Structure 1
Amino acid sequence: MTDGTRLTGITPAEMSSEQRAVYDAIVTSPRGASSRLDADGSLPGPFNAMLLSPAVGMALQNLGSALRYESTLPDLVRELVILLVAGRADSAYEQYAHEPLAREAGADEETLAELRSGNLPTEVSDEVAAALGVADALLGWGLDDEAYAAAVASVGEAWLFEINAVVGYYQLLARQLGLFGVLAPEGER
C-alpha cells in the first residue's frame, strides 16, 4: 500500500508490460533515486497513479522529467513555483517532496513557511519575485494584456512558457494527490 488512503500500490509483480515501462522510466530517471519506493516496490506519491493509465502516465512522467531536468528555470525558481502551487492547493505531499529540493537550491525557512501557507514570500531576489508573481497570476487563471506584457518584460517569453507549464503540471499532481488521498509520510508535515 502506498502512503495514500484510497489507492493500493501496484507492485512490480502485478504490473502489465505497459505499466512496467512507466515504472522503469520513473525509477531510472534522475528523480528515481529520490522516489523512495515503498517497501513492496510500489511507487510513492503521484507516481503510483500514473500506472493506472500507462500512456497518460508515461506522458506525465516525461513532462515532469523535462520540467525538472531540462528547462531553463533555475532550480530555486522552479522549486519555489512548485511550492507556491503546493501551498495554494494544500498539497502536503508536494511540500514534503519539494521543500528539501528548495533548501538545496538556497531557499530559507522563512520563504518556505510563507509558501507553505500559500503566500508570496517577502524576502526574495527580484528574479524569484518576478517568477512567483507570474505564477501567482497564473494560479488566478491568467494574465490580461497588461500583465502579460509586464510578465514578458520581467521574465521573458521562454520563462513565462516554462512557469506556466510548471504551474499546470503541479496543479494536476496536487489534484491527483488529493483525489487519491495521498498524504505526506507520517511526521513529515
Structure 2
Amino acid sequence: MAPRIPLPGPEQMNPAQKAVYDKIVSGPRGTLVGPLRAALHNPALADRWQALGQVLRYETSLPRDLNELAILVTARHWNSELEWTIHAKAALAAGLDKAVIEAIRTGAAPAFSGADERRIYDFSRDLLEQGQVGDAAYAAVLDRWGEVGVVELAALVGYYTMVAMTLNAHRVPLPDHIPAELNSDRTTRTPLPASPAQAAG
C-alpha cells in the first residue's frame, strides 16, 4: 500500500526537517520508520512529538515489557500494522511472553503469567474500548505504580493512539523487508476480550 503523502528521505529534507531528523536518529530510536515521517512536514510538530514519544517509550516508571504491552493493546485496537510490527518485536525483546503477543494479535484473551501484565492490559483495554477506565482497573494500576504510573499509562495509550491514527490516515508503509502481521487492509477493528480475571469480576 502506497503512502498518501510524500515521505521524504534525508536527501529531500529542507534544513529544518533535517535538523529534526538528525535529532531522531541520534536518539534511542536510532531510525525513522514511523509516524514522524509524516509529522516532519511540520518540523516543529515533529520535534515536539519525538520528545514526547521518547519520554513515553523509554523514560516511564513502568517496566519496559509492560510499556510495550500497553502499546500492543493500542496497536491491535486500531489495527495499526506498522505500530504493531515494530512494537511486537520490541515487546519480545523486552521479555513479554510470545504467547501473550500472539493472543493479542489474533484477538484472543491472553493467559497472563503475572498480575502486573493483567493490570496493564485491563486498564489499556478499558480506556480504548470505552473511553473510560473502570474503577477496579484504575485502582489496580494506581495501587501498584502510584500516581506517576497511572498518569504515564493513560498518556502512553493516548500517545500511541495518535501514532496509530497518523500511520493509518496517511498509510505510512512498513519497511520493505518487514512482513505485515495484522492484515491491515481490513477496515474493521478487532475488539480485544476482557482478561479472564476482569470478566469473572
For normalisation by structure 2, the TM-score amounts to 0.80
Q: Which runs of 5+ in 2 are unaligned?
A: 182-201
Aligned mates of 1:116, 1:150 — CA distance in 2: 24
Is contact 1:134-1:151 (8 Å) kept? Answer: yes
Measured against aligned partners, the alpha-carbon deviations of 1:112-142 in whole angstroms (never above 9, x if no partner) come to: 1122134552223101111121111221212
SS in 2 for 1:31: coil
Is contact 1:86-1:95 (8 Å) kept? Answer: yes
Match of 1:160 in 2: 150
Aligned mates of 1:152, 1:132 — CA distance in 2: 14
Q: CA deviation at 1:145?
A: 5.6
Distance 1:108 1:148, change over 3 A: closer
Match of 1:40 in 2: none
Moved more, 142-151 or 164-173: 142-151
Q: Would you say 1:175 and 2:165 are equivalent positions?
A: yes
Q: CA deviation at 1:13?
A: 2.9
Aligned mates of 1:162, 1:45 — CA distance in 2: 21
Task: Give 1:59's match in structure 2, choosing from 38, 48, 54.
Answer: 48
Counterparts of 1:19-168 in structure 2, within 5 Å, are: 19-32=17-30, 35=31, 43-139=32-128, 140-143=130-133, 148-168=138-158
Moved more, 14-23 or 53-62: 14-23
Is contact 1:77-1:128 (8 Å) kept? Answer: yes
Is contact 2:141-2:149 (8 Å) kept? Answer: no
SS in 2 for 1:143: coil
Aligned mates of 1:121, 1:145 — CA distance in 2: 21
Q: CA deviation at 1:99?
A: 0.9
Aligned mates of 2:101, 2:28 — CA distance in 1: 24
Aligned mates of 2:134, 2:180 — CA distance in 1: 38
Q: Which runs of 5+ in 1 are unaligned?
A: 36-42
Moved more, 3-12 or 51-60: 3-12
For normalisation by structure 1, the TM-score amounts to 0.84
Give 1:126's aligned amino acid: A
Aligned mates of 2:40, 2:3 — CA distance in 1: 17
Aligned mates of 1:125, 1:152 — CA distance in 2: 17
Moved more, 137-146 or 48-57: 137-146
Give 2:22's aligned amino acid: D
Aligned length: 178
RMSD across aligned positions (CA)? 2.0
Match of 2:7 in 1: 9
SS in 2 for 1:166: helix
Is contact 1:88-1:117 (8 Å) kept? Answer: no
Is contact 2:75-2:83 (8 Å) kept? Answer: yes
SS in 2 for 1:123: coil
Residue identity (%): 35
Give 1:142's aligned amino acid: Q
Is contact 1:120-1:132 (8 Å) kept? Answer: no
